[in-house]
Amino acid sequence: MTDRPLKIGVVCYPTFGGSGVVATEVCRGMADRGHEIHLLSYAPPARLGGFDQNIHLHEVEVSSYPLFKYPPYDLALASRLAEIADDAALDLVHVHYAIPHTVAALLAKEILGRDLPVVTTLHGTDITVVGQDPAYKRVMRWALRNSDAVTSVSEYLKERTAEVFGLDEGIQVIPNFVDSERFKPGYERGIRTCFSKHDEPVLMHVSNFRPVKRAILAIEAFSHVVASRPATLVMVGDGPDRAACERRAQKLGIKDRVRFLGAQSDVQHLLPAADLFLLPSEYESFGLAALEAMACGVVPVVTDAGGLPEVIRDGEDGVLVPDSEMDRMGAVAASLLDDKARLARMSAAAREAAVGRFGRVSVVERYEAVYRSVLTP
Ligand code: GMT
């Protein structure tokens, strides 16, 4: 097994979603370890930030033509990937989110006619929603079987993959991680006072407002909290359910207590200003947003579903609310805010868990071990 610096092609979505965040953070970690990264996406990833001499960004352009009702992004990606693999002499490709990235990478490999190992990291809805759609299921099964290595961000997702595709052998679970130097407790006074003039509690929700996030339940839980004390709910992100959330806040008469900030690239500055983080998702394969909150010492109150119990220890560093009892989420949040000593204990435990159990270095090393294992000596 070689230990020379590697030339790694990485493919991800550029949006604020967790798979793009994880991809960007893994790229940063690999670049810090001296590897040369070629990152391909249809736009600069939201979390990428400043210049890094070891990260080369390649935007994939899809040309349109009147005949194309659906512009073929996967073909443009395969073509660009083959070109970059040739020019940069890539050793391997790591794709985040299987659809359509794995298929594009396998096609690039075929075009090149040389060995170009493909590592696929499964993130969530690429298996649980999109992947099992009959429109994609067969091609997904083929793509996973032909990847040189498949990783999943939680045991839960590995099990779901086994169920849906009859494939679990060889899937390695590599949990997500958080950069605890950037995500840490401590906020600028101005940020907290902007949400809470008299230091009343601040609750926060960060998501892409897709139906699976059930962001509207955060509004409902908050209406319970604010019924007995002044407080603010900060809703960060944007997506299909945002307008419905705004309407619900209006209907519940709490609109002036809920701040909608839209998509924000520097959530590490906002999160520490909160006391509680609400994530009422139907399920999460992992729940990276909750982990980032924990790293900032913000106590997560989340659904007991999917991979969230692998991240949060109920009653210790956060609270897991059973899915059948989501109407209790507000009461749970209110009781935590009422018991300041317990909240402080859990906040410290949340930070400790994020740093100790989900540290950046060990996870980046594990991905590197996967890379080296797929390379032919
Ligand atoms: O599946 C999605 O909603 C999109 C995906 C993404 O690209 O953000 O999110 C998934 O990947 C994250 C990073 O691994 C996980 O933290 C999220 O839990 C997961 N989302 C779901 O499972 C719903």
Pairing of strands 92-96, 55-59: unpaired
**7-177+359-375 belongs to which CATH class?**
alpha beta
Q: Whose CA is nearest to atom 2 of ligand 1?
A: 125
pTM above 0.85, yes or no: yes
Mean pLDDT of 249-264: 97
The mean pLDDT value of the chain amounts to: 95
Residues 112 and 84: beta-carbon distance below 8 Å:
no
pLDDT digits (tens, 9 = 90+) for 117-170: 999 999 998 887 777 788 899 999 999 999 999 999 999 999 999 998 887 678
Instruction: Please report the pLDDT score of residue 296 as a whole number.
Output: 97
Q: What is the band of 1 on the pLDDT scale with cuts at 50, 70, 90?
A: low
Taking the centre of ligand 1 as the mean of its atom positions, its distance from the CA of residue 4, in whole angstroms, is 32
Give Cβ neighbours of residue 206 (< 8 Å, ≥ 6 apart): 236, 237, 267, 271, 277, 289, 292, 293
128 CA closest ligand 1 atom index: 22
125 CA closest ligand 1 atom index: 1
Residue ranges, comma separated, of all CATH 3.40.50.2000 domains in the chain are 7-177+359-375, 189-357
Taking the centre of ligand 1 as the mean of its atom positions, its distance from the CA of residue 21, in whole angstroms, is 10
pLDDT digits (tens, 9 = 90+) for 274-305: 999 999 999 999 999 999 999 999 999 999 99
Does residue 237 have its Cβ closer than 6 Å to ligand 1? no
Mean pLDDT of 348-367: 96
Give Cβ neighbours of residue 77 (< 8 Å, ≥ 6 apart): 11, 40, 60, 100, 101, 104
pLDDT > 70 in the chain, percent: 99
Q: What is the band of 14 on the pLDDT scale with cuts at 50, 70, 90?
A: very high
What architecture is domain 189-357?
3-Layer(aba) Sandwich (3.40)
Taking the centre of ligand 1 as the mean of its atom positions, its distance from the CA of residue 227, in whole angstroms, is 32
Instruction: Please report the pLDDT score of residue 336 as a whole number.
Output: 98
* 224: pLDDT strictly greater than 80: yes
Which tokens hold the place of 345? Answer: 């204990």
Taking the centre of ligand 1 as the mean of its atom positions, its distance from the CA of residue 222, in whole angstroms, is 24
Instruction: Please report the pLDDT score of residue 313 as a whole number.
Output: 98
Output the CA angle 124-128-131, nearest 5 degrees: 100
